[in-house]
Chains A and B, each alone.
Chain A
Amino acid sequence: MNKMISEKLKKRTFIDTILSCLFCLAALVLSVWQFIGYADHTNMKEYLSNSLCSLVIFAELGLLALILLEIRKTGKPFSKKIITKLRLMAVILLAGGLIPSCSTIPVDDSQFAVTISFDMQNILIIGIGVIIGILSEVFVYGLSLQEDNDSIA
């Protein structure tokens, strides 16, 4: 790939890398905080649901940060490592879309009713997972084009 394009790409991804790393850490803190909340109040199932959702967000942002770091290191957006990470992102999102949202309603002093529901948010998350999966296939084509371009003097 052209050196100038690589350098521009490295500069462009600088802020994105920092932001994704920061948001990733924030998601991890949120996830741990929610899990501690669940450990303290085991009856409140929404803590567990929120913790798992935060964990999915952490994994997504972590993978995004790794992808951006890879781009910054090599200066190339198309590589087998990036494609693998994109596919992993898609699988995690598809699995994350299956996490139901819980809400606990106190019936009396000692009893709680837990409602589990799948709503449009779950479908939206699965949809984003499918889109990222398709995007990874676009990157496969991009990689083959890049390899082809690199073999032209």
Chain B
Amino acid sequence: MAIIIRLDRIMADRKMSLNELAEKVGMTNVNLSNLKTGKMKGIRFETMNAICEALECQPGDLFEHVNE
């Protein structure tokens, strides 16, 4: 897909582990890992809001569009 999720980059910036973020967001590690690796088809506003609150970032920081 042309839209890439940059969750790993922001997590590294904030020095937050996957387990820690999963606990804060209320998701399972497996689901968050799938989201991080781009295996998910989509993301709910509810989940995006929780991630943005946990990582103190904007939704735009999480995604990047690249031309294929």
| A binding-site residues for B, Cβ under 8 Å | 148, 151-153
Contacts and interface: CB of A to CB of B under 8 A. Distances in A.
Interface residues of B, number: 12
Contacts of B42: 151-153
Interface of B: 27, 31-32, 34-35, 39-44, 47
Contacts of A153: 27, 31-32, 34-35, 40, 42-44, 47
A153 B50 CA distance: 11
Given A151-B40, A151-B41, A153-B34, 6 more contacts: A151-B39, A151-B42, A152-B42, A153-B31, A153-B32, A153-B42
A152 B35 CA distance: 9
B54 to A, nearest CB: 14
Q: Select the residue from A148, A152, A153 with max chain B CB neighbours within 10 A.
A: A153
5 contacts: A148-B41, A151-B41, A152-B40, A153-B27, A153-B47
